[in-house]
């Protein structure tokens, strides 16, 4: 059995201490520095659910860091209350809200139906892989205004921080802007979000997902974030370049959250994933192969029990 315990101290800056024996199958330590009075606690992994998450259910599970949407169903009507998020945090969890900064979503509070026939200048084409999601010119003021309105709503609900998705949208603009310029514009937005969130909330954990290629052009963005999250970096088509970049993030003392869509009922696949991830110093979450992220995968003795 893979040892499940990863000690944590709940504060806004993460640090990974990896085993001396690099390839030993051992739990590694994730530390968060900066809060007085918090003692170490343990959790086996992080959790990631974007549809229908119920705080009362999550609170009873052995996850120390959870990523959920701002809303049960993505709409403003389904938004979690400050009381619900407070209760979830009081169970000892760091609770991050999902926020897409590289695509607009047609079910969010900011969407206008007239945009389908008369889009604003910052709105680009629909993502063919995710209907209802639209690439955006993320550096334009119109889109940035929406991002910061959304961020204020997240802060007002009491989340511990934000989980920033679709940084990899910068690649879409690589040919037109040049990859370096597209990356710099995305890095600038990440840094502005980090500064604003911390100005409004005092403490705000910032974890981007994917798009780690921007670090090639703007390595200084690491100073603004508490870690990085990656999908499919171990079992997908990311290749050695992505893994090398993530190792640099890890070696910079940042937490790396890894999600792989490997769970189909076969626990041995999850055990293999946990072993591989921990050898790399990554914090793993094994999600369902459906990729819908509409339920938490809980595996006794390994994940979230």
At 40-85, the pLDDT tens digits run 233 457 999 999 999 999 999 999 999 999 999 999 999 999 999 9
CB 193 within 8 Å of CB 173: no
Q: What is the DSSP letter of 299?
A: B
DSSP for 2-30 reads ----EEE--SSEEEEE--SSTTS----EE
- This prediction has a pTM of 0.87
pLDDT attached to residue 44: 55
Q: What is the CA radius of gyration of the chain?
A: 19
Report how far residue 34's alpha carbon sits from residue 164's, in angstroms, rounded to the nearest whole number.
22
How far is the C-alpha of 121 from the C-alpha of 164, rounded, in Å?
Answer: 23
Whether 109 contacts 96, CB under 8 Å:
no
Q: How far is CA 229 from CA 79, 90, 100, 110, 149, in A?
A: 24, 24, 13, 26, 24
Q: Does residue 191 lie in a domain region?
A: yes
C-alpha closest to that of 183 among 164, 169, 163, 198: 169
Tokens of 1: 């059995």
Model pLDDT, residue 125: 97
Q: How far apart are CA 125 and CA 134, in angstroms?
A: 5
What confidence score (pLDDT) does residue 86 get?
A: 97
Residue 68's domain is classified under what CATH number? 3.20.20.70
Question: Distance between CA 146 and CA 141 in Å, rounded?
Answer: 9
Give domain status of residue 251, yes or no: no
The answer to the question of residue 182 being in a domain is yes
- Kindly state whether residue 7 falls inside one of the protein's structural domains: no
Mean pLDDT of the chain: 87
Q: Please name which of 174, 150, 132, 145 lies closest in space to residue 70, comparing C-alpha atoms.
A: 150
Question: Token pair for residue 63?
Answer: 């996850």
d(CA 18, CA 153): 36
Decide if 226 contacts 206 (C-beta within 8 A). Answer: yes
The answer as to whether 195 is a domain residue is yes
For residue 3, is pLDDT > 80? no
* Residue 27 domain-assigned (yes or no): no
Q: What are the pLDDT digits (tens) for 214-240?
A: 999 999 999 999 999 999 999 987 789
For the beta carbon of residue 36, count every other beta carbon within 10 angstroms: 5
Tokens of 262: 């490997």
Q: Domain range holding 129? A: 44-242
How many domains, in total, are found in the chain? Answer: 1
Tokens, residue 145: 């205004």
CA angle in degrees (0–180, nearest 5) for 258-263-264: 160
Residue 292: inside a domain = no
Instruction: Dump pLDDT digits (tens) for 133-170.
Output: 999 999 999 999 999 999 999 999 999 999 999 999 99
Contact 47, 66 (CB under 8 A): yes
Phi, psi values for residue 137, rounded to 5°: -85, 90
């Amino acid at each position: 059995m893979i040892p499940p315990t990863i000690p944590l101290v709940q504060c806004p800056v993460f640090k990974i201490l990896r085993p001396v024996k690099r390839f030993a199958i051992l739990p590694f330590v994730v530390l968060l520095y900066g809060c007085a009075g918090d003692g170490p606690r343990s959790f086996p992994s992080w959790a990631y659910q974007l549809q229908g998450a119920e705080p009362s259910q999550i609170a009873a599970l052995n996850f120390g860091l959870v990523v959920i949407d701002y809303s049960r169903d993505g709409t403003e009507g389904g938004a979690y209350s400050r009381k619900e998020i407070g209760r979830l945090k009081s169970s000892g969890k760091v609770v991050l809200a999902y926020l897409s900064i590289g695509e607009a979503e047609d079910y969010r509070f900011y969407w206008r139906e007239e945009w389908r026939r008369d889009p604003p200048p910052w709105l680009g084409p629909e993502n063919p892989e995710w209907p209802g999601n639209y690439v955006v010119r993320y550096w334009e003021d119109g889109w940035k205004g929406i991002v910061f309105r959304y961020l204020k709503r997240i802060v007002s609900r009491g989340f511990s921080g934000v989980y920033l998705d679709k940084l990899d949208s910068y690649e879409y603009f690589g040919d037109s802007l040049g990859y370096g310029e597209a990356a710099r514009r995305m890095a600038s937005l990440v840094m502005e979000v980090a500064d604003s969130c911390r100005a409004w909330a005092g403490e705000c954990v910032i974890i981007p997902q994917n798009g780690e290629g921007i670090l090639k052009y703007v390595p200084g963005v690491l100073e603004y974030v508490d870690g990085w999250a990656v999908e499919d970096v171990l079992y997908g088509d990311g290749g050695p370049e992505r893994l090398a970049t993530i190792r640099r993030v890890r070696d910079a003392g940042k937490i790396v959250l890894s999600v792989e869509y490997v769970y189909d009922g076969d626990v041995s696949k999850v055990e293999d994933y946990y072993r591989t991830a921990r050898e790399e110093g990554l914090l793993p979450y094994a999600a369902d192969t459906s990729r819908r992220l509409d339920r938490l995968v809980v595996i006794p003795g390994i994940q979230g029990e």
